């Protein structure tokens, strides 16, 4: 059995936290750069999470 690599767990936690932040941005009142931050988060967090999940699908 291979030892657990905690850096991947930490990365997955960070990506899940971005999901929560992205959903919170949908309900917050207008803040500066809200749309840009929303698009930035959603442009990479799901592809990164799918890529990371694919690593462990072997």
Query: pLDDT digits over 41-54, tens only?
Result: 989 888 888 888 88
- Over residues 28-57, mean pLDDT: 88
Q: Please, which residues have CB within 8 angstroms of residue 19's CB and are 6 or more apart in sequence?
A: 45
Instruction: Please determine, for residue 17, whether its predicted confidence score (pLDDT) is greater than 90.
Output: yes
Predicted pLDDT at 58: 67
N residues, the chain: 58
Would you give the end-to-end CA distance of the chain in angstroms? 14
Number of helices (H), then strands (E), in the chain: 2, 0
Average pLDDT of the residues in 25-42: 90
Task: Give whole-number Cα distances, 56 to 8, 40, 50, 51, in Å.
Answer: 10, 26, 10, 9
**What proportion of the chain, given as a percentage, has pLDDT over 70?**
98
Residue 3 DSSP class: P
Mean pLDDT for the chain overall: 88
């Amino acid at each position: 059995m291979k030892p657990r690599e905690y850096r991947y767990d930490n990365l997955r936690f960070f990506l899940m936290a971005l999901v929560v932040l992205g959903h919170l941005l949908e309900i917050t009142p207008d803040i500066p750069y809200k749309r840009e931050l929303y698009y930035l988060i959603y442009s990479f967090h799901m592809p990164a999470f799918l890529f990371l999940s694919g690593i462990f699908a072997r």
